[in-house]
Chain A
Amino acid sequence: MPEKGLNAYPAVVEWLGGFVPNWLAEVLYRVGAGVLICILIATLALVLVWMLRKVIGHMQCRLGPRVTGPFGLLQTAADALKLLQKEDIIPANVDKLLFILAPYVTFFSTGMIFMVLPLSPTWILNDLDVGVLFFVAFGSLASFGLLMGGFSSYNKYSMVGGMRSVAQVVSYEVPMVLALLGAVMLAGSLSTQQIVLQQEGLWLGFIPKWFIFLQPLGFAIYFLCGLAETSQTPFDLPEGESELGAGFNTEYSGMRWGLFFLAEFANAFAISAMATTLFLGGWHGPVFSFLPWLWPFVWFMAKAVALTFCMMWIRSTWLRFRIDQMMDFGWKVLVPLSLLNIFISAGEVAIIRSGIIARLIGG
Chain B
Amino acid sequence: MDGAQTGAYAAFGAMTALVIGGGLGVVFFRNIFYAATSMVLCFLGVAGIYFSLQANFLAVMQVLIYIGAVAIMIVFAIMLTRRSQMVDTNRFVRSLSQLAIALAAVTCIGIILIELAIFAPWQISGKVPAPDITRFLGEAMMSRFAIPFEIAAVLLLVALIGAVMIALEEVRKS
Contact = CB atoms under 8 A, between A and B. Distances in A.
A213 B136 CA distance: 29
Contacts of B6: 23
A130 B57 contact: yes
B17 to A, nearest CB: 17
A140 B67 contact: yes
A144 B75 contact: yes
Contacts of B63: 137-138, 141
B152 interface: no
Contacts of A159: 79, 82
A27 B7 contact: yes
A125 B9 CA distance: 23
A173 B73 CA distance: 14
A141 B70 CA distance: 12
Contacts of B40: 144
A26 B7 contact: yes
Contact of A147 (B31, B34, B75, B82): B75
Interface string B131-167: 0111000000000000000000000000000000000
Contacts of B133: 129
Contacts of B31: 95
Contacts of B80: 163
A166 B72 contact: yes
Contacts of B75: 144, 147, 151, 166
Interface in A37-56: none
Contacts of A133: 57, 60-61, 64
A26 B133 CA distance: 24
A148 interface: yes
B71 interface: yes
Interface in B49-71: 56-57, 60-61, 63-64, 67-69, 71
Interface residues of A, number: 32
Contacts of A22: 2-4, 7
B171 to A, nearest CB: 12
Nearest to A136: B64
Contact of B132 (A129, A136, A162, A173): A129
A190 interface: yes
B3 A21 contact: yes
Contacts of A7: none
Given A98-B33, A170-B72, A129 B79 contact: no
A143 interface: yes
A173 B69 CA distance: 10
A123 interface: no
Interface in A76-117: 95, 97-98, 101
Contacts of A26: 4, 7
Nearest to A26: B7
Contacts of B72: 140, 143-144, 147, 166, 170
A137 B58 CA distance: 12
Given A129-B132, A130-B56, A130-B134, A140 B64 contact: yes
Contacts of A344: none
A222 to B, nearest CB: 17
Contacts of B82: 159
Given A159-B79, A162-B79, A163-B76, A128 B64 contact: no
B87 to A, nearest CB: 10
A72 B10 CA distance: 49
A128 B31 CA distance: 37
Interface string A8-26: 0000000000000111101
A134 interface: yes
27 contacts: A21-B3, A22-B2, A22-B4, A23-B4, A23-B7, A26-B4, A26-B7, A95-B31, A95-B33, A95-B86, A98-B33, A98-B34, A98-B37, A129-B56, A133-B57, A133-B61, A133-B64, A137-B60, A137-B61, A140-B64, A144-B40, A144-B72, A148-B37, A151-B75, A162-B79, A163-B80, A166-B75
Interface of B: 2-4, 6-7, 10, 31, 33-34, 37, 40, 56-57, 60-61, 63-64, 67-69, 71-72, 75-76, 79-80, 82, 86, 132-134
Q: Which 8 A-B residue pairs are closest in the complex by CB-CB distance? A: A140-B68, A22-B3, A23-B7, A137-B63, A137-B64, A23-B3, A133-B60, A130-B60
Given A21-B3, A140-B64, A159-B82, 13 more contacts: A22-B4, A23-B3, A23-B6, A23-B7, A129-B133, A129-B134, A130-B134, A137-B63, A138-B63, A140-B67, A151-B33, A151-B75, A151-B79
